Structure 1
Amino acid sequence: MPRRPQPSSYAPATAILALGDAFYDPVQPARFRQAILRFRNQAWAEAVGLGGLDAAGWIQHFVRFAPLPGTLPQPLALRYHGHQFRVYNPELGDGRGFLFAQLRDGDGRLLDLGTKGSGRTPYSRFGDGRLTLKGGVREVLASEMLEALGVETSKSFSLVETGEALERNDEPSPARSALLVRLQHSHIRIGTFQRLAFLQQAEEMRTLVDYCLREYYREQSGEDGAPRLLALVADAAARLAAAYVAAGFVHGVLNSDNVTVTGESFDYGPWRFTPYWDGDFTAAYFDQAGLYAFGRQPEAIHWNLVQLAKALTLIAPAEDLTQAIERFPALFQSALVAAVFARLGIRQTEPERDTIFLVKLENILGRKEVAIDRFFFDWRGGRRRGRSPADPFYRSEAMQDLIRDMRAYDAVPGAARHSYWEEDEPCSMLINEVEAIWRRIDDADDWSGFETKIAKVRRMGEAMRSGGA
């Protein structure tokens, strides 16, 4: 599971400045008509020493962007390129966000505070640099749900409604506007490396490799820095791909500018959770070919890693980079076993046995006769508790075979101890629920459904963690 937020003292950082101004552009935030705080992530604020900010201080720093003491003196729009649906685009970069501050948590881990919807930058092109309130609400819901399910994800830190009326082609307009601040380990993307390769900037590439090894993986660089970094990124990316599958999550836009070198999920646009184990399920209406469908996400992430390897050939021989790419399928398979077993709350045993069990489980869920959330809820710890709407299916011959195998595994101690597991229904985040939450906000400015859902999601997260999974 990703680390839980622990209260920590304030520790500002400016590590990004060591890269030099070839990697970013200083920018000014937009001025907003109003500032209505809709979401404040107090637990993560405390984890970076900002939990004591009062309401006025919060607005001062996370809407007006007065610099936090000791960190970046001015917001920075980061430069990058990337493949978008496998088409290379050299005209990317932070177009409606920027890096506002860097901090360190209690373990000394570097964290970024970045924005979404903070105004135009040199990379905005024809966009207005803004975010709709619905988009902000959806990002909070996605990041909260993924964090609860054990996915390494950015944290929605602050959501403020800003008062502008935005025109959008894919939402009813005028749309309410918002400003999101997110907290994550890194905003360095695969596309950051691609830009340097495109421009043939070898020295800057070495600088970036050194930075990533030092700040994100706490390793020293050297002549083998590029292949070592690629191997570390491949491992983190494999865990992310596996976590998506175990969570039933579909990101929707896994372009190379949306994959970070730390393997954190971030930037939630058309995301959805699939109700059933359906490999063809897509999140984005514009993904008509199913490139980023549920079952193709590991392939998409692997493809992006190949692009990172190609970029790194600017400073390292291709043969030195090949091994990390070739290891990805095995890394993903191992990570998927770990992620599924963690969600079930059972202990792994032998790799071959565990893999056979996983294949059986995927075949059962692939029948689409029981929803993903229902299955993992009903069988937490490898044992059934009480009644379920899926009981008729659980009595089927195929399911009985899986049950026999599942009962041979030991439960993680305390896996189903939390009272959440005694409830009638699992917590889920399906599209109809998300739309219902938004309708109440849009129609009546009623945030009770949003707040209730976050409370339920966090309760599930506590239950998942209580078993040590």
Structure 2
Amino acid sequence: MTLSPAFRPSARHLALGDAFYDPVAPADFPRTDIRYRNGRWAARVGLGSLDDAEWARHFGRFSPLPGSLPRPVALRYHGHQFGSYNPDLGDGRGFLFAQMHDLRDGRLLDLGTKGSGTTPWSRSGDGRLTLNGGLREVLATALLEAQGVNTSKSFSLIETGEDLERGDEPSPTRSAVLVRLSHSHIRIGSFQRLRYLEQGDDILRLLDHAVETYRPEARRPTSAATAVAFLEGVARDVARTGAQWMAAGLVHGVLNTDNINVTGESFDYGPWRFLPTYDPGFTAAYFDHAGRYAYGRQPTVLLWNLTRLAECLLDVAPQAELEATLGGFAPAFRAAFVAETLRRLGLRPAADPEADKRLVEMFWTFLEASGAPFEQAVFDHRGGRLSAGRAARSPNAEFYAGEAYGVLREALDAAEPDGGAGLDHPYFSRAEPCTLLHPEVEAILEAVNRADDWGPFRAKLDAIDAMRVAYGS
């Protein structure tokens, strides 16, 4: 086996004990055709030297990685789905396959699966993933990473040779197994399950594990103080990730409590969409009839989910302190939203924070009033005063007129470009930015499904990677 000697495996999650997971066996797939492997992140965790046969054996057959988990485990959790509590959740078509450390910063990372077979939590499901679903997640995570969002990484996608029946796409449809690289799979729903089952000792055990493993800075002399500091850290990071979604124009689509983890990292992309134009009511999931998870409601939903986490800590810490900690979410989100908008626009923070707030408000007001294409408008104005020529030459130029735009233009011209804005990269000499709007994604999937043509998929990934380099992500 050609593992890098730098590979640092772990089986840290097993320290929690078997009350938190169930050992499972992966499905035995007819085929293992590698469709995507993330070479950059494989190298970063010491797995870049695997050849294709070894890659398929580990990420299609799930042969254990030396020194990590001896067999996969399906994690136990509950959660609120579209506001309704579901005690029958858990890893139903995935499992935790392995853990290892990031060779750059030492973080503990998980390799978790999607579509790897049935588990005790599958209910009536087949435990499989459609190839379309896997391709969509690869594309989403690639673009979000390129834009600097704190997201999981799609690590591997292998087509598995089964025909699946689904009610939301033409069937039979092709099958795949996805492996995601993520900084923790401990969810708000992991705590909710223990509260529902009235397992107070296990809440303390999970809290202690999460603090020691992911948030050592939250350790305090007492469990109560530790719980409050832990909630504060989770809320701060969730606020930042939510602000990044908003600045990226992402609608996650399914912000259930089992899709929010304790590191604040964004993961599990199903019916996501990117905004064509600014629209607070824009939804991603066709089944989100009430718009619960619409673009503009995402910050409110995140706070609602964090409140569910706080409820799980009520027997550990005083309610007043937990509530006070949640009170910090809104200002943390607002500050992060300003910072993330400036980052996307390639601008340095001003000496006067109020000036930054005014500029950001003007930019978003312009987006709403003008109806300009979202990502194009961000692209056209990156670099502040250095963007004037690009904006004038833009296919969007018709939107950049009038008194409201003139006021915004003056504010952009007065702002200081960030030295790391990457404007000298060829990406910014293009007329249009890289996007992943719904029609583009559908065209990529159609090429694969109708003609087994992988060219558009690979071309889009190449374009996204150019964007990532240009943005310095």
Measured against the shorter chain, the TM-score band is: over 0.9
Per the alignment, residue 214 of structure 2 pairs with 216
Q: Which moved more, 1:363-372 or 1:436-445?
A: 363-372
Q: Does 1:251 align with 2:252?
A: yes
Aligned in 2, Cα 1:164/1:221: closer, same or farther, shift over 3 Å? Answer: farther
Q: 2-side partners of 1:8 and 1:110: how far apart?
A: 17
Q: Does 1:53 align with 2:50?
A: yes
Structure 1 residues 260-294: Cα deviation after superposition (integer angstroms, max 9, x where no partner)? 11111111111000111100000011111111001
Counterpart among 95, 99, 119 of residue 96 in structure 2? 99
The alignment partner of 1:384 has SS state of: helix
Aligned in 2, Cα 1:85/1:122: closer, same or farther, shift over 3 Å? Answer: same
Q: 1-side partners of 2:250 and 2:412: how far apart?
A: 24
Q: 2-side partners of 1:267 and 1:33: how far apart?
A: 25
Per the alignment, residue 28 of structure 1 pairs with 25
Native 8 Å contact 2:38 2:154 kept in 1: yes
Q: Which structure 1 residue ranges, 5 or more long, are not aligned?
A: 1-6
Q: Kindly provide the amino acid, as one letter, of the partner of residue 408 in structure 1.
A: A
Structure 1 residues 201-237: Cα deviation after superposition (integer angstroms, max 9, x where no partner)? 1111111111111211233354111111100000000
The alignment partner of 2:154 has SS state of: strand
Native 8 Å contact 1:277 1:368 kept in 2: no
1:411 is displaced (CA, Å) by: 0.1
Q: Does 1:13 align with 2:10?
A: yes
Q: 2-side partners of 1:455 and 1:213: how far apart?
A: 38
Q: Does 1:450 align with 2:451?
A: no
Per the alignment, residue 145 of structure 2 pairs with 147
Q: Kindly provide the amino acid, as one letter, of the partner of residue 389 in structure 1.
A: P
Q: 1-side partners of 2:46 and 2:299: how far apart?
A: 36
Per the alignment, residue 181 of structure 1 pairs with 179
Q: Which structure 2 residue ranges, 5 or more long, are not aligned?
A: none
Give percent identity, aligned residues only.
Answer: 54
Q: 1-side partners of 2:178 and 2:398: how far apart?
A: 45
Q: 1-side partners of 2:129 and 2:98: how far apart?
A: 20
Alpha-carbon RMSD: 1.2
1:60 is displaced (CA, Å) by: 1.0
Aligned in 2, Cα 1:183/1:355: closer, same or farther, shift over 3 Å? Answer: same
Q: 2-side partners of 1:200 and 1:296: how far apart?
A: 31
Counterpart among 382, 386, 389 of residue 385 in structure 1? 389
Native 8 Å contact 1:8 1:105 kept in 2: no
Per the alignment, residue 4 of structure 1 pairs with none
Structure 1 residues 139-158: Cα deviation after superposition (integer angstroms, max 9, x where no partner)? 00000010001111110000
Native 8 Å contact 1:148 1:457 kept in 2: yes
Q: Which moved more, 1:449-458 or 1:406-415?
A: 406-415
The alignment partner of 1:186 has SS state of: coil
Per the alignment, residue 424 of structure 1 pairs with 431
The alignment partner of 2:19 has SS state of: coil
Q: 2-side partners of 1:274 and 1:8: how far apart?
A: 44
Per the alignment, residue 369 of structure 1 pairs with 371
Q: Which moved more, 1:422-431 or 1:390-399?
A: 390-399
Q: 2-side partners of 1:426 and 1:310: how far apart?
A: 43
- Aligned counterparts, 1:301-340, within 5 A: 301-340=302-341
Native 8 Å contact 2:420 2:472 kept in 1: no
Q: Which moved more, 1:443-452 or 1:14-23?
A: 14-23
Per the alignment, residue 412 of structure 1 pairs with 418
Per the alignment, residue 296 of structure 1 pairs with 297
Per the alignment, residue 194 of structure 2 pairs with 196
Q: 2-side partners of 1:420 and 1:377: how far apart?
A: 10
The alignment partner of 1:156 has SS state of: strand
* Structure 2 length-normalised TM: 0.96
Q: 2-side partners of 1:315 and 1:275: how far apart?
A: 45
Native 8 Å contact 2:116 2:177 kept in 1: yes
Per the alignment, residue 401 of structure 2 pairs with 395
Aligned in 2, Cα 1:214/1:403: closer, same or farther, shift over 3 Å? Answer: same
The alignment partner of 1:442 has SS state of: helix
The alignment partner of 1:366 has SS state of: helix
1:398 is displaced (CA, Å) by: 0.3
Q: Kindly provide the amino acid, as one letter, of the partner of residue 389 in structure 2.
A: R
Q: Kindly provide the amino acid, as one letter, of the partner of residue 27 in structure 1.
A: V
The alignment partner of 2:388 has SS state of: coil
Q: 2-side partners of 1:458 and 1:263: how far apart?
A: 24
Counterpart among 420, 438, 442 of residue 435 in structure 1? 442
Native 8 Å contact 1:8 1:48 kept in 2: no
Structure 1 residues 223-257: Cα deviation after superposition (integer angstroms, max 9, x where no partner)? 11111110000000000110010000001000000
Q: 1-side partners of 2:288 and 2:201: how far apart?
A: 37
Per the alignment, residue 279 of structure 1 pairs with 280
Native 8 Å contact 2:59 2:156 kept in 1: yes
Q: Which moved more, 1:435-444 or 1:8-17?
A: 8-17
Q: 1-side partners of 2:420 and 2:42: how far apart?
A: 29
Native 8 Å contact 1:213 1:221 kept in 2: no
Q: 1-side partners of 2:426 and 2:471: how far apart?
A: 11
Q: 1-side partners of 2:146 and 2:324: how far apart?
A: 33
1:368 is displaced (CA, Å) by: 4.5
* Structure 1 length-normalised TM: 0.96
Native 8 Å contact 2:27 2:117 kept in 1: yes
